[in-house]
Amino acid sequence: MDLGFAATSAHQGASYSSASPAERAATLVARDRMIHKPLLFNPSRCHVDVARARQLAMYLTHVVLGQSLTSVGAAFGRDRTTVAYACALIEDMRDDAGFDADVSRLEALLEQGRG
């Protein structure tokens, strides 16, 4: 076993467990959508793929991790009304079975602490 890898893995696990709820959701969504995580916290509107990923991360932070709209907004540099809009948008998009399955998978990963 590579001790460098083991130390790195242990450090990553420790940092993940101490990460804020928004960081946990953003890390999971960034990995899943193959987007550079800092873009999710970027103050600009960015490309539609980044905006959609940010909306999904905000949704997961609020719905799965139980954070208030205000705290989610503060974490992502957005107003609480923007977070409410993102949550409503993601809920509407869940009418699509494929998208709903993706979101359900991400929810399960966050709930299990593996996100």
Task: Convert the pLDDT of each residue in 3-17 to its tens digit.
Answer: 333 333 333 444 455
Structural domain boundaries in the chain: 20-111
Distance CA 55, CA 58 (A): 5
Tokens of 34: 């193959």
Domain 20-111 fold: Chromosomal Replication Initiator Protein Dnaa; Chain: A; (1.10.1750)
DSSP structure string for the chain: --HHHHHHHHHHHHHHHTS-HHHHHHHHHHHHHT--GGGGG-SS---HHHHHHHHHHHHHHHHTT---HHHHHHHHT--HHHHHHHHHHHHHHTTSHHHHHHHHHHHHHHHTT--
52 falls in which pLDDT band (50, 70, 90)? very high
Is residue 70 scored above 90 in pLDDT? yes
Quick check: 25 and 64 in contact, CB under 8 A? yes
pLDDT for 54: 97
Please tell me the predicted confidence (pLDDT) of residue 3.
Answer: 38
pLDDT in tens, 87-104: 999 999 999 999 999 999
pLDDT score of 18: 75
Question: How far is C-alpha 89 from the chain's CA centre?
Answer: 15
